[in-house]
Amino acid sequence: MFEVGLELVLFFGLVGFIAGFIDAIAGGGGLLTLPSLILSGLDPISALATNKLQSTFGSGTASLTFFRHGYLNGRKVILFMLLSGGGASLGTLAVSALPTQDLGKALPFLIMGVAIYFILSPKLSNEHGTALMPEWLFLGLCVPFIGFYDGIFGPGTGSFFMVAFTLLRGQGAIHATAQSKVCNLASNFASLMTFAFSGKIILAAGIPMGLGQVAGAWLGARASIRVGVALIRPLVVLVSLTLSARLAIEAFPSLREIGRAHV
């Protein structure tokens, strides 16, 4: 039986707050929350299930904040959620049939590409640009595909949505962040539903971390709206580089040995 004392409750709340703030702006909050849950004593499956619970709190709060400030269209919100959530559900069902190990080896390079894109892109601003893909194709292909990826694997989903909305649909940085949060909310919730009847969701850990996410996501979304590109670009780059490095170490164990040899 997993027991949570006051110190652990406060720890979960603090981690959730920091992760929620970062995730609302650039994604990647799972870099903090998932390891924290595992280090607290949860088995990997319980940690994954509980992480989906708390991250739904954060992405939901960020989405609601952006919606209230007029950065989301009501009809498109529903469509985004249906397509992303549907893709995530299919991904979760397919997780045992697809070679996720091979995906894990390619992922660090893909996320590194996200960082390079935001470093070199001179067009990232709060203003809308030229769309490279028609909306119907983007909605029918990109949104469910990234949602599918979140269901089957997950790391970097927010970053991939950001690139998709800025590069393919020409969205301004704040609008792209807002729409990324809605899509990520749907994929998180769809995955959460697959764990709902598993008995692996640890409420004593997920609720305090989720409440921290609410506060952090609210503050992060408001900071994103007020500061805009000056805050979004560097955080997306930092999170992408950090996530890429961590995934590379996990996918290529030899890198750990090289690191230890130089310590």
Cα–Cα distance, 263 to 261 (Å, whole number) = 6
Cα–Cα distance, 4 to 83 (Å, whole number) = 37
Lowest mean pLDDT among 103-107, 130-134, 231-235: 103-107
**185-205 b/e (C-beta count within 10 Å ≥ 16 → b):** bbbbbbbbebbeeeebbbebb
Q: State whether residue 98 is helix, strand or coil.
A: coil
pLDDT score of 246: 79
pLDDT score of 100: 59
pLDDT score of 141: 95
Rounded percentage of the chain residues whose pLDDT exceeds 70? 89
For residue 240 the two structure tokens come to: 């992408």
User: What are the backbone angles phi and psi of residue 121, rounded to the nearest 5°?
Assistant: -65, 115
Query: What digits encode the pLDDT tens for the residues 14-57?
Result: 999 999 998 898 887 887 888 888 888 888 778 888 988 999 99
The count of residues in the chain is 263
